[in-house]
Structure 1
Amino acid sequence: MQPACPRARGTAPRPLRRAHWGLLLLAPLASAGNLQVAPILLEFSDGVQAQALWLENNGDQPLHAQVRVQHWTQSDAADVLEPSQMLLARPAIVQIGPGQRQLVRVLRPAPVPTGDPQEQAYRLLVDELPAPHVKPNQGLNFLLRYSIPAFVLPAGASPRELGSKAATDTSGLHARWQLDPGLLTLTVHNTGAQRVRLSQLRWLPENGPPIELTPGLLGYVLAGQHMQWTLPLPHPFPLTGTLQARLNDAAIPQPLRSADL
């Protein structure tokens, strides 16, 4: 889970271009976070034209929410989101009563092109909307935002999230890293047909125990794209070693293949 992403009522949202995305982004709320969303990831395989997204209100007042679809790519080592009609959220704006749930159907209006070798990535941005009875001058209030990954799989591919916990094929994943005083710069290029999620990054020195660098999620590298992260290093840090990460839902960390990108 990524750090909080607050958005004040009455202000324009920040540009949707970030270096790191988690499965879920939460903003701290005066209302104690009454909007809940499930599931936290969607996949569309062959023949699947719709998926269910559930929005739940755990509070004691009605709430309003909006679901927007963004095409997700990676450029200049950053995530880029752009509005898209390739997936549709119906209904896109909802009112949910206290203790109630609302079904939002996420639709894929067109089948996957048979010649498309790579999966397409999207983000479903679920925003809590300002309550109509609260005036802007009644103080600063923060609204929830969830960012839900959604993937349209290439023809013939199996859903990755329902697969086994076996080791991920790393033949299409190539990494390069640079060690500077106090910093590690890691670039990962994914030439495969599906995304790779990296977490639990650690450094394996030639001598000594592993050094944990990111205990949780590091981020995604989308199919056919690359990402870069700069991470602080503890001091002292052994300069000779290699990197491991947990890839997707593999049970154990795997070495990152070092290559010139």
Structure 2
Amino acid sequence: MTFFIRAMVFLLSSISLSCFAASSILVWPIYQVIESDENSSALWLENKGDAPVGLQIRIMSWKQIDFQDRYADQSNVIATPPFMTLEPGKRNMIRLIRVNPPPANTE
């Protein structure tokens, strides 16, 4: 019986935690590109929910190895501002800035 009670408490606590973590953030454009002749690009975030959302913006490198996604820290692109609170119904622009110039003759 105690196993059942512990399992139910764990299940209910995990459900309530996921509800607190849920938010309605719209991000566009999805496919972000910094053109070779530009140093930055605009990324828009919009809060479609009814509560303020605190955000931390982190830019990660991505590649696939053996059909598995691999994410890692990187230092080539930064986001500004890196932290924000987005109020309900509001949108804000994040600037993605290239730190180093692109290598010559590369795509």
Normalising by the smaller structure, the TM-score range is 0.7 to 0.9
Match of 1:91 among 77, 81, 104: 81
1:52–1:76 CA distance, 2 compared to 1 (3 A): same
Match of 2:58 in 1: 68
1:76 Cα offset (Å)? 2.8
Match of 1:35 in 2: 25
- What letter corresponds to residue 110 of structure 1 in structure 2? N
- What letter corresponds to residue 26 of structure 2 in structure 1? Q
Tell me if the contact between 2:23 and 2:53 (Cα under 8 Å) persists in the aligned partners: no
1:96 Cα offset (Å)? 0.9
- What letter corresponds to residue 51 of structure 2 in structure 1? Q
1:88 Cα offset (Å)? 0.4
Return the structure number with greater helix share: 2
Q: Does 1:104 align with 2:94?
A: yes
User: How many corresponding residue pairs?
Assistant: 94
Match of 2:34 among 44, 55, 65: 44
- The CA RMSD over aligned residues, in Å, is 2.7
Distance, in Å, in 1 between the alignment partners of 2:40 and 2:53 is: 25
Identity %: 30
Match of 1:201 in 2: none
State the SS of the aligned residue for 1:40. coil
1:103 Cα offset (Å)? 1.1
* Structure 1 segments (4+ residues) deviating >3 Å: 7-10, 28-33
Distance, in Å, in 2 between the alignment partners of 1:96 and 1:46 is: 30
1:31–1:114 CA distance, 2 compared to 1 (3 A): closer
1:31–1:42 CA distance, 2 compared to 1 (3 A): same
Extract unaligned runs of 5+ from structure 1.
1-6, 11-27, 118-153, 155-261
1:60 Cα offset (Å)? 2.3
1:99–1:31 CA distance, 2 compared to 1 (3 A): farther
Distance, in Å, in 2 between the alignment partners of 1:41 and 1:8 is: 32
Distance, in Å, in 2 between the alignment partners of 1:85 and 1:9 is: 36
Match of 1:78 in 2: 68
Distance, in Å, in 2 between the alignment partners of 1:9 and 1:29 is: 5
1:31–1:76 CA distance, 2 compared to 1 (3 A): closer
- What letter corresponds to residue 50 of structure 2 in structure 1? D
Tell me if the contact between 1:55 and 1:104 (Cα under 8 Å) persists in the aligned partners: yes
Q: State TM-score, norm by structure 1.
A: 0.32
Return the structure number with greater strand share: 1
Match of 2:43 among 53, 59, 63: 53
Extract unaligned runs of 5+ from structure 2.
1-13
